[in-house]
Amino acid sequence: MSFSGKVVIVTGASSGIGAVTAEAFAKRGAKVVLVGRNIANLKTTETACKAANPNAELLLIAADVTVDAERIINSTLEKFGKLDVLVNNAGILAYGNILDIDVEQFDSILNTNLRAVFLLTKLAAPHLIKTQGNIVNVSSINGLRAFPNASSYSTSKAALDQFTRCIALDLAAKNVRVNAVNPGVVVTNIHTRAGLTKEQYANHLRRAKETHALGRVGTTKEIADTIAFLASDEASFITGATVPVDGGKHAMCPR
């Protein structure tokens, strides 16, 4: 898989799956646009990308995807002149029963996980048509299956899956592919950022041995490599797909 000369935007490149995805593209020769809010963490990802490929051309954009979509696309075009791949990875998680959560949680999750993806997709699409590029959205097992105490997040990801399929059809005639990955549990900052205590998180990871058929959680690299595959020419006949990268979790049913 080579992305030599390709321009790739990765949102949420300052942490977790996005950081390792940026590195995966840099390693394969892409010019990578690293988008995130935490500048210090973006710089850490920059260092990792340079370590993976000292010749990697990188652009760091400190931005909030919920308000800066236009600036993200414009800065990319100003710096690199085109766009080949958009990875919509930035996302947030929050927990809570419908009896306890408020509409602010719902709005903030939908705003980040769905509305920002709509905006970035709309602004990127004309440029992806020019390059015959593609989009990879980072959804979740929560898009494919229902879980208690995670309705806002799961709804945002289920909607993202449907958005992926619809935009794949909208852009198919223009030969622009649109796919999603649906990770199972992967060790990143997302769960503690959502409010899990250290102990709750350790318990969540312990339980993952039973909730994932392969008996373990996934790695950021396993997700990043699948994203890179879907974005590559090797996946040229794949569009509208939501690909579970979850150790078989989607195939399981409690008994």
Residue 215 near residue 209, CB atoms below 8 Å? yes
Q: Does 247 bind ligand NDP (CB under 6 A)?
A: no
Amino acid occupying residue 116? A
Burial of 215 from C-beta contacts in 10 A (0-12 / 13-18 / 19+) = exposed
**Closer CB to ligand NDP, residue 90 or residue 136?**
90
Q: Which stretch binds ligand NDP (CB under 6 A): 75-83, 118-126, 171-179, 186-194?
A: 186-194
- Using CB under 6 A, which of 59, 90, 125, 224 touches ligand NDP? 90
Contacts to ligand NDP from residues 33-72, by CB under 6 A: 36-38, 41, 64-66
Instruction: For residues 101 and 96, give the distance between their C-alpha atoms in angstroms, rounded to a whole number.
Output: 6
Instruction: For residues 114 and 121, give the distance between their C-alpha atoms in angstroms, rounded to a whole number.
Output: 10
Q: Minimal distance in Å, beta carbon 132 to ligand NDP?
A: 26
Q: Minimal distance in Å, beta carbon 53 to ligand NDP?
A: 20
Q: Does 143 bind ligand NDP (CB under 6 A)?
A: no
Q: Is 153 a catalytic residue?
A: yes
**Closer CB to ligand NDP, residue 171 or residue 181?**
181
Place of tokens 């796919």: 179
Q: Using CB under 6 A, count the residues that bind ligand NDP.
A: 29
Q: What 3-state class would DSSP assign to 169?
A: helix
Place of tokens 């905006």: 119
Residue 76 has, within 13 A of its CA and on its CB side, a CA count of 28
Cβ contacts of 150 within 8 Å, gap of 6 or more: 93, 95, 142
Q: Does 225 bind ligand NDP (CB under 6 A)?
A: no
Interface with ligand NDP by CB under 6 A: which residues?
11-12, 14-18, 36-38, 41, 64-66, 89-93, 112, 138, 140, 183, 185-186, 188-190, 193
Active-site residue list: 153
